[in-house]
Amino acid sequence: MTRTSSSKQLDALGRENKALQDRLASLESQVRTRDAEIDRLGKQLKDSVSTKDYAT
């Protein structure tokens, strides 16, 4: 049984969709990692500023 052109197109779109979903998951992971790093640096900066004695 041969596959029709539309079936091949559907398969190709499915593979493309999967690749895009994988890329999106990767980008979302990068965003979460960078958000955590921003939070960590913000806390570090806040802690650093709050421990400074500017009166001296």
| pLDDT one-digit tens code per residue, 24-39 | 999 999 999 999 999 9
pTM: 0.68
Q: How many helices (H) and strands (E) does the chain have?
A: 1, 0
3-state secondary structure of 32: helix
Residue 33: count of CB within 10 angstroms of its CB: 10
Residue ranges of domains in the chain? 1-55
pLDDT of 22: 99
Residues of the chain with pLDDT under 50: none
pLDDT of 2: 59
pLDDT of 17: 98
Kindly provide the b/e burial profile for residues 10-22, where b requires at least 16 CB atoms within 10 angstroms of the residue's own CB: eeeeeeeeeeeee
